[in-house]
Amino acid sequence: MVVGVAVAVSLSLSLSGLWICIWWWCWRWVLISCGDGGGGCLWIWYWFLLLVLVIQKLAAEMGLNCITAFKLDALKAVWQRNDSDITTDLCCSEEIDGVTIQSSDLLGSHVEKNSSIIMEGMSAEKSGKESVSNEKANERTYVSKADIRKNIRRIRNGSGRNQCNGGRVQNSKGFSPNSFDRVLLDAPCSALGLRPRLFAGEDTIESLRNHAKYQRRMFDQAVQLARPGGIIVYSTCTINPGENEALVRYALDRYTFLSLVPQHPRIGGPGLVGHCEFPDGYIEEWLRPGEEELVQRFDPSSPHDTIGFFIAKFIVGPKDAQFGKSCASS
């Protein structure tokens, strides 16, 4: 009886060749491990299958059968509402809970509009400046190797895929302030933690500082998108404190309603406390004592054998009236 039910369930799941293969090997293992008196094992398999079905049903009920991806510039992720926008782009005006915005691939929409893939590779570093127009794009004569690599990748991979829209990713004008419970800003960065470093030696102090500039602007957007009580996770794959600890300092000093919260699991080391004074007099402030254990810094030379990266997790407290004003003016 039990075997009959389990086989029926497994057959209903065997919709593709892959499933058939997996189930064949599972059943083979069950038969081998149970021998002839292995009723207990079959019960375990039966409950396991039931659990899978229950989880699938729950996920379907909650609409969690896929992740919805949107393409947008992370520097303009907050929808600036004006009257003409009210009837357009419903996805912007909806409250969207539990969705993660990743900064990756968000540039795609601009790529298509400007029909200039190469220009987009520059946009992050050109933070603060408007997107370059078609005319300016045509005037550009110098094309860097990084631009060419990016162009080839985009041609090869297409503009982005996801499961629910038949391979298409929706464009978005941005999202209303306070519309997310959680925001992950896995920011573009100098990537100094990556190894092997195939394109090493191209960074200067100035270029490192430029990374920090657009990261702060992206973080400003993340703060606006996260609702009070929500969570913002900021991460990079660089060991440059200017893009890590200094970003945390900026965040905590500028947005007094943000606090660092402990992370689980905790594998990385503590963050850097103090500051760094550069030869040109610029002072970069890092963490204050007590904050270092609340972030995770992964050192590529540590025994954990990881790349270098950094994670900070913030909880968003009640946003004060002052924040609303500064958002409107920025």
Ligand X SMILES: C[S@@+](CC[C@H](N)C(=O)[O-])C[C@H]1O[C@@H](n2cnc3c(N)ncnc32)[C@H](O)[C@@H]1O
**Contact positions toward ligand X, by CB under 6 A?**
73-75, 102-104, 106-107, 123-124, 186, 188, 237
Report residue 6 as tokens. Answer: 């389990």
Distance, CA of 177 to chain centre: 18
Q: Is 92 a catalytic residue?
A: no
Q: How far is the CB of 174 from ligand X (least distance, A)?
A: 11
- One DSSP character per residue, 104-151 reads TTTTHHHHHHHT-HHHHTTTTTTTTSPPPPHHHHHH-----HHHHHHH
Q: Which of 66, 91, 164, 237 is catalytic?
A: 237
> Minimum CB separation from ligand X for residue 314, in Å?
18
Q: Cβ closer to ligand X: 194 or 316?
A: 194
CB nearer to ligand X: give 107 or 239.
Answer: 107
308: number of Cβ within 10 Å: 22
Does the annotation list 73 as a binding residue? no
Task: Return d(Cα 258, Cα 285) in angstroms, integer.
Answer: 17
Residue closest to 228 by CA, chosen among 249, 266, 254, 257: 257
- Give me the least distance between CB of 144 and ligand X, in Å please: 15
Q: Would you say 106 or 119 has its CB closer to ligand X?
A: 106
Identify which of 178, 174, 250 has the alpha carbon closest to the alpha carbon of residue 215. Answer: 250
- In the complex, residue closest to ligand X by CB: 106
DSSP three-state, residue 235:
strand
| H-run or E-run covering 236 | strand 226-236
Taking the complex as a whole, how short is the minimal distance between the CB of residue 77 and ligand X, in angstroms?
8
Tokens linked to 42: 């079959």
Q: Which is nearer to ligand X, 222 or 248 (CB)?
A: 222
Binding site listing for S-adenosyl-L-methionine: 186
User: Which residues fall in the annotated binding site?
Assistant: 186
Q: Which residues are marked as active site? A: 237
